[in-house]
Structure 1
Amino acid sequence: MSASRQLRDTLTDQLTEDGTLAEPEWRDAARAVARELFTGSYFRRVPGSVPTGYRPVQKNEPGWLEGVYTDETLITQLDGRVRPDDTAEATVTGNPSSSSTLPSLVLRMWQQLDVEPGHRVLEIGTGTGYSTALGAHRLGDAHLTSVEYDPVVGAAAAAALKAAGFAPRLIIGDGLRGDPEGAPYDRLIATCSVRYLPLPWLYQVKPGGKILVTLSGWSYANALVLLDVTGPGEATGRFLPGYTSFMIARPHDRPPRPALALLPGEERPTRIDPAQLETWTGGWITQLAAPSAEHLGAGAEQILWDVSTGSQARTAPHPQGGWTVVQRGPVRLWDRVESAVEQWQDAGEPHQEKFGITVSPVGQRVWLDTEDGPGWDLPI
């Protein structure tokens, strides 16, 4: 047995034992698809580096294959252009822009999508092609279409899929527009995050079909949601347990801002602990309440910067206890966040699985507990 097959079997057994792989069809896919065909070289984070540094791991160097079969996300591109083979530096910096997502998450999402034989599936974000290969193994090439925004990434994925023996329909283009020529689909799965549900998806998935996507925003808080399409342009769903995050779709990413300058404003005590913004769901609530804001800071010193209006909010500990907030600009960011966090606290600080979403052609609303509960409109 080859080293690759041994490592693949070991990883598949591990994911089976921990409950990730509950369905035998997806276990078969995990054993059959060689991840190394899709990762080639990759970047690994350098622990403790500031700013975060990445070390290129070249194909076939010692430890390369073992790294491929760890249950980790492998970064394959930085800043939308730099790939591991493009640099001779021992360490490079940049923002991750493409990756091979950790296998446990990819396989868990395919199972959550609840696909069945004969279903036609649209995948948004081909990436390296590893997830696409798993889907093609389970469904057959003819039942899977995958869209990739980056032509360089898409070309590499196409070559890897061919080498692995798969031939799904591949498209280079804006995945947020979906695939009108191939519609209607039974399922849609996204391996990037979005600020809101693109309306084309809601018309390209059949009523009764499902959409699985991660919602994010300009503060990069994430929540995975499974929606049932109830009619053309309409859907409803619940957010799922766990902690899922993806890179945001490039057309939905925040615009560049000038260097951050903290300016004077109106000061008052704050009713909530600013550190709540650093918790998984607290950060999500913050993003819902201030969807155009970037979130910075740590502990008692939090900063919100609205990249569309220039509004600011920043907190600090008070010498006599508690915290203060300084706000300026047309949007009172902390007022909105404070109110939203208090509503969440009144509900017992539940995880995101207590939230749901209702989508229609005129709006998209995330709500807590029930559709009549507290809610926040997404920035469509």
Structure 2
Amino acid sequence: MDHAQLRERLVEKLTANGSLRTRAWRSAAETVPRHEFLHGGFFRHLQGPASDAWTPVLDSDADWLEACYQDESLVTQIAGTILPTDVRGQIMRAPTSSSTMPSLVLRMLEDLHVEPESNVLEIGTGSGYSTALLCARLGDERVTSIEYDDTLASRARTALARQSMFPAIVTANGLDGHPESAPYDRVIATCGIRTVPTAWIEQTRPGGLILATISGWLNSSELARLTVHGDGTASGPLLGGQVSFMLARPHTPPALGLLPDLNEGTERETLTGGEILADWTTRFVVQLAAPHAQRLTIERDGHTEDVLIDIASGSWATVHKNDGRWIVRQSGPEALWDTVEEQLGRWHAAGTPPLEKFTVTVTPDGQTIHCIG
């Protein structure tokens, strides 16, 4: 099949699964060729014991074009600088940019609830594919997109120009927004954030919407849609779907460095075992209780331990199973696991509501997330 046939097949699939819900966004998806934003190739994950192994797929490879029109996220950069054309063989480093799966891109654009005259700020240009969809729907002059990485911004700008699209592409820290083109009617972020920046609220008209994925260092996240109010605050629900993006680079966790002495601290039995951290929703709730904690799993003394570490405060907790009982050991200024248990207790008392029952409120004093039912 040629790219037009592949694109039409993808559009039909996205319509059938509910990602495309309106005629206007279907028309945009039918117009924008995704492969044009993947010239230079992407990285394919290699299955096996090395979970971070990737190999390049170049646009000269036989399966490149069809892969561009699969409903999959395609990694386009690794380790902050490495592109597919830089690698021969494989590389074992972490991805830092990708072309998001089309179903999620279009689901978010539908959830953004744009109007024909909306001025939109996009945080995270990436490959430029979602930027192109916005341009096709609203026109270049109504789209401003910010990319943290200058190389990625330049590649996206070139790809957009090939489609005769010339939105404002800005290389900057997207968390600061872009006041020069404000105010905006809509803000959409294609990167994860720990907290919604006040700059986005300040640069959005009252009544405008901010769509962003709120995440954390325990790797659980959810899409939120906030309405900006005239008093400089914003609030709105989590939308559900276990949406996940790479964190904005300024929001990535610091390196753990040397581990504390896990033999120290006080030890007790707990009814809250480490298995709770395997569940997406529970982990999100835990993340609310310990927003600065990072998690790792280690094998020690013949058992598996889940470890939470807050390197800023120096607090830590480790949980493991011993003879069928869960044991927690913790140390530092804050008893991390006690805080986790208290948060989970309140959630269970409310009936363990799903994340769609949570709401986000952002004020000049900070961000809060709480259950509404």
TM-score tier, shorter chain, comes to: over 0.9
Partners of 2:346 and 2:31 lie apart in 1 by 47
Give TM-score scaled by structure 1 length: 0.93
Shift of 1:148: 0.6
One-letter amino acid of the structure 1 residue matched with residue 211 of structure 2: L
Report which stretch shifted further, 33-42 or 109-118: 33-42
Q: Secondary structure at the residue paired with 1:191?
A: strand
Distance in 1 separating the partners of 2:261 and 2:16: 50
Deviation at 1:263, TM superposition (A): 1.8
Offset at residue 51 of structure 1 (A)? 4.0
Q: Distance in 2 between matches of 1:108 and 1:279?
A: 24
CA distance in structure 2 between the partners assigned to 1:236 and 1:73 by the alignment: 29
Residues in 2 aligned to 1:233 and 1:271: alpha-carbon distance in whole angstroms: 42
Confirm or deny: 8 A CA contact 1:202 1:232 kept in the other structure. no
| Structure 1 residue ranges without an equivalent (≥5) | 371-380
CA contact (8 A) 1:273 1:300 kept: no
1:184: how far off?
Answer: 0.6
Code of the residue aligned with 1:283 in structure 2: it is R
In structure 2, the residue corresponding to 1:61 is in which secondary structure?
coil
Give the match for residue 354 of structure 2: 351
Is residue 325–residue 334 contact of structure 1 (8 Å, CA) maintained in 2? yes
Task: Give 3-state SS (helix, strand or coil) of 1:231's partner.
Answer: coil
Which residue among 317, 329, 345 is the counterpart of 1:342? 345
Give the letter for the 1:344 counterpart. Answer: W
Shift of 1:318: 2.4
Which moves more between the two structures, 150-159 or 293-302? 293-302
Shift of residue 295 of structure 1? 1.6
Determine the structure 2 residue equivalent to 1:373: none
Q: In the alignment, does 2:191 pair up with 1:192?
A: yes
User: 1:193, 1:246 within 8 Å by CA — same for their partners in 2?
Assistant: yes
Aligned to 1:219: 218
How many angstroms apart in 2 are the aligned matches of 1:119 and 1:159? 24
Q: What's 1:330 paired with?
A: 333
Over the matched positions of the two proteins, sequence identity in percent amounts to 44
Equivalent position to 1:318, from 322, 332, 344 = 322
How far off its partner does 1:341 sit?
1.6
Aligned partner of 1:377 in structure 2 is: none
Aligned equivalent of 1:363? 366
Q: Give the match's secondary structure for 2:216.
A: coil
Query: Residue deviations 1:228-252, cap 9 Å, x none?
Result: 0012530110000211001111111
> Given the two structures, how large is their TM-score scaled by the length of structure 2?
0.95
CA distance 1:177–1:360, shift in 2 (3 Å): same
Alignment RMSD: 1.5
**Superposition pairs for residues 276-295 of structure 1, below 5 Å?**
276-295=276-295
Unaligned residue ranges in structure 2 (runs of 5+) = none
1:243 is aligned with what amino acid? Q
Work out whether residues 293 and 304 of structure 1, in 8 Å CA contact, stay in contact via their aligned partners in 2. Answer: yes
Match for 1:130: what amino acid? Y
Q: Which residue identity lines up with residue 6 of structure 1 in the other structure?
A: Q
Letter in 2 for 1:85: T
List aligned pairs for 1:115-130, cutoff 5 A.
Answer: 115-130=114-129
Name which of structure 1's ranges 128-137 and 29-38 shifts more when overlaid on structure 2: 29-38
